[in-house]
Amino acid sequence: MRVSGTRSRMGAIGGAVVVGVSLAACGSSSPRAQNGDTLSPKQASAYAKSEFTAQDREAATVLAPEAGSFLAGMQTVTPLGSTTPADGDTLPYGMWPVTATVGSLHAGDVLVDNDADASGQLGAGTSIVDVEPNGSVRTFADIPRTVAGCPGGVGLTSALVQLRTGWVVVGSLPTQNGKVSTAGQGCLLVLSSTGALVGTISGPYIDGPWGAALRDDGSTATLFVSNTLVGIKGSTTAPVRQGDVIRLTLSQSATSKPTVTAEAEVANGFPEQVDPSVLITGPSGLTLGSSGTLYVADTVGDRIVSIAGALTASGPAGTGTTLSQGGQLAHPLGLALAPDGDLLATNATNGKIVEVTASGRQVGEYYADQDVDQDPPGADELWGLAVNRAGTGVLFAKDEAGTLDLLH
């Protein structure tokens, strides 16, 4: 179970912490722990003994993937490698499939960052690992805990992208003791393609950056970032409706690190809330559709929203237009775009990945983490996710297990 400012660990196998279901060796395939069509007896018992909201119970029901959906037929989970670096950082949050070979990165690798340090302190993780296709894992970057230009220090978040030119940008929402009362404003950290820290992006438009989405045009790029600390004071748990999403226009080249040439707020008024077990909740996952529509995971609102014309909008669109709400969505966190244009979201309340069409219809779910040691099963276990480079499966990481897995 969760404790304030830290997360529990139940055991370790081969350097990767594992809870509940044992995993096959990296590089081998294993069937899912449950068939996904019904709750396991342990899950049913956990729900029966708990006091959940009506929405939590609705999200626990089964929604088998419809024929033709992206998740349809996906029954196998293949562990790809550990996400735990040499320094012992924990809680894999952000991930990015590498699509081009540049620097020390190779097409097919997956970058994964960690939010907590070896003791489980939230907002203190400083490392990014590179998981290679053969299962080898190396530390791509180990960033100092204190960095000039990053208010409050370093504590990595799920805002992680790589530009075509090789530069890597990652968000930081740091704390001094794992609590929001000591959180700093944070920044975006800029790394070279070999993992060296080369600069920061900070300012009044960056305040607790949590999610990111990218449109990369080569010499220029558009980076969207969600902020979760705007207006948050101290450790009060009362909701504050000031979370926002900003658009940064970047200039870049293979030899010149990305710099901000313009910034704009494209959405605001999202609810944010201090949660001692996970630090904070607010607008989190972002993904950009091919038409320029930005999708935002409104975590506290149990919904996914759309913002049309986000690439060119001159002003904020409030909290956007509700695309899908409730149902299987239970505090959605990570967002990814499937090859067919559907959205994939991870739930914070349980360990599910939910598929939503571009019209907002929920067409399937997969219970990726059924850890009954959490309440509900799989709670706070899934964060970031991504579609693999081949477009044939879903990459996700389990917080407790510390592994990068592929659902296919």
Structure-token match 């489980």, residue found: 120
Dihedral sign computed on CA atoms, order 242, 229, 185, 346: negative
pLDDT at 285: 96
- In this predicted structure, the answer to whether residue 36 has a pLDDT above a threshold of 70 is no
DSSP summary character for residue 371:
-
What CA–CA distance (Å, rounded) separates 73 from 66? 9
- Tokens 């207006």 belong to which residue? 231
Quick one: pLDDT band at residue 23, thresholds 50, 70, 90? very low
Q: What does the angle CA 88 – CA 90 – CA 95 come to, to the nearest 5 degrees?
A: 120
> Over 90: is that where the pLDDT of 21 sits?
no
Print burial letters for 153-166: b (CB count within 10 Å at least 16), e (below 16): bbbbbbbbbbbbbb
| Predicted pLDDT of residue 70 | 98
pLDDT score recorded for residue 183: 94
pTM recorded for the entire structure = 0.88
Give the integer Cα–Cα distance in Å for 188 and 191: 10
Could you tell me what percent of the chain has a pLDDT over 70?
85
pLDDT at 10 over 50: no
Structure tokens at 193: 């393609």
Tokens 């820290």 locate to 197
CA-wise closest residue to 243 among 190, 285, 294, 292? 285
Strand arrangement of the beta sheet that strand 220-227 belongs to: 209-216, 220-227, 240-251, 259-275, 279-281
AA letter at 219 = S
DSSP letter for 4, please. Answer: T
The pLDDT value recorded for residue 278 is: 86
Average pLDDT, the chain: 86
**pLDDT confidence of residue 43:** 61
State pLDDT tens for residues 199-250.
999 999 999 999 999 999 999 999 999 999 999 987 677 889 999 999 999 9
Q: Average of pLDDT values for 320-333?
A: 95
Is pLDDT of 31 > 50? Answer: no
User: How large is the average pLDDT for residues 41-61?
Assistant: 69
Prior bond to 376 cis, omega within 30? yes
197-201 vs 16-17, strand pairing mode: unpaired
Strand partners, 280: 274
352: three-class secondary structure by DSSP = strand
The pLDDT confidence band at residue 259, using thresholds 50, 70 and 90, is very high
